[in-house]
A and B are shown apart, each in its own frame.
Chain A
């Protein structure tokens, strides 16, 4: 179900498969949360009760035109519940968004984001996730839009068995385009697991900066954390910075990280062309091959479709 937020107009109330979705003023009346938590009216509040599994993805689509816009999403997935949510951004000016996800025991949250803002817009996002016992959260983000975009992500694995898997793809192709990722994953408890795979393709004079930090607290024994960040540069002037960090205070942990910045393999390009594919087609094949593994991580068909449409349009511009 798609909820379009046009020019900042948040719908007051929605019912999706028996679950209520509220804009904040109404959520306050529900008194599930302390009234003081939120200060503005631009909040979408989503509460998934215990044992409720929403089959269809929820889709927040932001299309606001001219002025700067602030938005706040609060998602509470109660025990044993399941939710798939896609945030999609197609704005013209400036977007600031904060998303908070609370995943209770055994909850499954699939969170995806398509940041496809206008090429002159700015996008500033902060995502924080808190996970309890045995909960699993999947994060997938495609960031191809905006002139300048910043993504702050903070993951807290509070209880035993919590797992968070983060994937992202960022194809940048405009001279002034700039993207920053700052990701913090905090392992607070034993047997928690995190995995990060982020890939960027940078053309023209675009710039990306990735900092991924895994922090393992003293109590967090037997955890697993993997982090990788790979880039393909299509022009000599593009820049990709990558800084994986690990800070470990516990014993018996399995942590890996890797980062690369590379170019198209000229031998592969020549091989394809020598068989008759033109340069453009060959480049398309090789860049798609680079992105294939991270894009394959998205299993939801509806979201996959939105991603493919966005990419197809983006590559044709």
Chain B
């Protein structure tokens, strides 16, 4: 479903100096798989997620991103969304003045239109969203507020999951959707993901905590350090990281 080949990316920092962030990422995600990406702060996990979703401003010097046999490199964010890519942001942005429900309806209908489906009318949309919002345990009043404005950290993350449930992506990237969540919220997020799991839908779960992976059991776990995936394993790798930290892996990299 998704292949990333030798992806190198850098960014111009505030002093206009080029800073290399990704140094040759390779990933191969098959339909139905759940991949976890772990790694220390600043290793480039969010950068990878943002590049996949189409954020501008990165200098991609090498590499390819193939989604469903198509190179999506030149596609705009909305075109990638239409293909079924979804990013649950690590830090969802607050957008004052834009109504949450209006936004969700516009987004869903825009995707449906791009996919050649008919747009949902107000009634059908309302029925749908009232069901989905229950699944993430948010009060309906959140639909009438501005997008993420004044939402608590946990409420923002639930709102991201709500959007995922509404938009039904084919590849969902969850960037630390578990950070800052209480135990109940963590289970809500996991339930949301698990309810969408199917043989032709894939997930990339970026997390610092093995705890989430108890609820969403991954097929593959990757460790990213300094812009490179330095180790790939099964779900037991997450347990090992929890016990030993990243130090032992970084030493291995230096040696090799």
* Residues of A bordering B, CB below 8 Å: 265, 267-268, 270-279, 281, 285-286, 288-290, 292-293
Q: State whether A272 and B103 are in contact (beta carbons under 8 Å apart), knowing that A281-B110, A289-B95, A293-B97 are contacts in the complex.
A: yes
Q: Which residues of B contact A274 (CB under 8 A)?
A: 53-55, 77-78, 80-81, 86-87
Q: Can you name 12 A-B residue pairings with CB atoms under 8 Å?
A: A271-B95, A274-B55, A274-B77, A274-B78, A274-B86, A275-B107, A276-B107, A276-B108, A276-B114, A285-B106, A286-B97, A289-B97
Interchain CA distance A276-B76 in the complex, whole Å: 10
Q: How far is the CB of A286 from chain B (nearest CB, A)?
A: 7
Query: In the complex, what distance in Å separates the CA atom of A292 from the CA atom of B87?
Result: 28
Partner of A273, one of B78, B86, B146: B78
Q: In the bound complex, do residue B107 and residue A277 qualify as a contact, i.e. CB atoms below 8 Å apart?
A: yes
Which chain B residues border A281 with CB–CB below 8 Å?
Answer: 106, 110
Q: Please, which residues of chain A bring their CB within 8 A of the CB of B167?
A: 275-276
CA distance A61 to B99 in the complex (A): 35
Whole-angstrom distance between the Cβ of A268 and the nearest chain B Cβ = 5
18 other A-B residue contacts (CB within 8 Å) besides A272-B98, A276-B167: A268-B93, A270-B53, A270-B56, A271-B89, A271-B93, A271-B95, A272-B95, A273-B54, A273-B78, A274-B53, A274-B55, A274-B80, A276-B111, A286-B95, A288-B97, A289-B97, A289-B98, A290-B97
Chain B residues near A292: list those with CB within 8 A: 97
B96 interface hit (Cβ, 8 Å): yes
Q: How far apart are the CA atoms of A271 and B53 in the complex, in Å?
A: 10
B contact residues around A289 at 8 Å (CB):
95-98, 146
* B92 CB-CB contact with A under 8 Å: yes
The minimal Cβ–Cβ distance linking A62 to chain B, given in whole angstroms, is 33
Q: How large is the interface on B (under 10, 10 to 19, 20 to 34, 35 or more residues)?
A: 20 to 34
In the complex with contacts A271-B95, A273-B78, A278-B110 CB distance below 8 A? yes
Determine if A286 and B106 form an interchain contact, defined as CB atoms under 8 angstroms apart.
Answer: no
| A270, B95: Cα distance in complex, Å | 11
Shortest CB distance A68–B (Å): 40
Contacts of B55 in A (CB 8 A): 270, 274
B92 touches which one: A271, A276, A288, A290 (CB < 8 A)? Answer: A271
The distance from the CB of B50 to the nearest CB of chain A, in whole angstroms, is 8
B112 to chain A, nearest CB (A): 9
Contact between chains at B97 and A278 (CB < 8 Å): no
With an 8 A cutoff between CB atoms, is B207 at the interface? no
The smallest beta-carbon distance between B180 and chain A, in angstroms, is: 19
- Asked whether B177 is an interface residue with its Cβ less than 8 Å from the other chain, the reply is no
Q: Which of A268, A271, A278, A288 has the most CB of B within 10 A?
A: A271
Q: How far is the CB of A290 from chain B (nearest CB, A)?
A: 7
Indicate if the CB atoms of A276 and B78 lie closer than 8 Å: yes
Q: Mark B200-230, 1 if CB is under 8 A from A, else 0.
A: 0000000000000000000000000000000
Q: For B87, B95, B96, B147, which residue has the most chain A Cβ atoms within 10 angstroms?
A: B95
Judge whether B82 is part of the interface by a CB distance below 8 angstroms: yes
B98 engages A286 (CB within 8 Å): yes
A interface footprint on B233-247 (CB within 8 Å = 1, 0 otherwise): 000000000000000
Specify which chain B residues have a CB less than 8 angstroms from the CB of A270 in the assembled complex.
53, 55-56, 77
- B111 CB contacts on chain A under 8 angstroms: 276
Q: What 4 A-B pairs have minimum CB-CB distances, sorted nearest first?
A: A289-B97, A273-B77, A276-B81, A275-B107
How far, in whole Å, are A256 and B28 apart by their CA atoms in the complex? Answer: 58
A290 to B98, CA, bound (A): 9
- A279 and B76 in contact (CB under 8 A), knowing A273-B54, A274-B54, A274-B81? yes
Residue of A265, A273, A285 with highest tally of chain B CB at under 10 A: A273
CA distance A184 to B204 in the complex (A): 59
Interface residues of B in 79-126 (CB under 8 A from A): 80-82, 86-87, 89, 92-93, 95-98, 103, 106-108, 110-111, 114
Contact B93 A265 (CB under 8 A): yes
Known A270-B55, A270-B77; contact A276-B110, beta-carbon cutoff 8 A: yes
A292 to B146, CA, bound (A): 12
How far is the CB of B93 from the nearest CB of chain A, in Å? Answer: 5
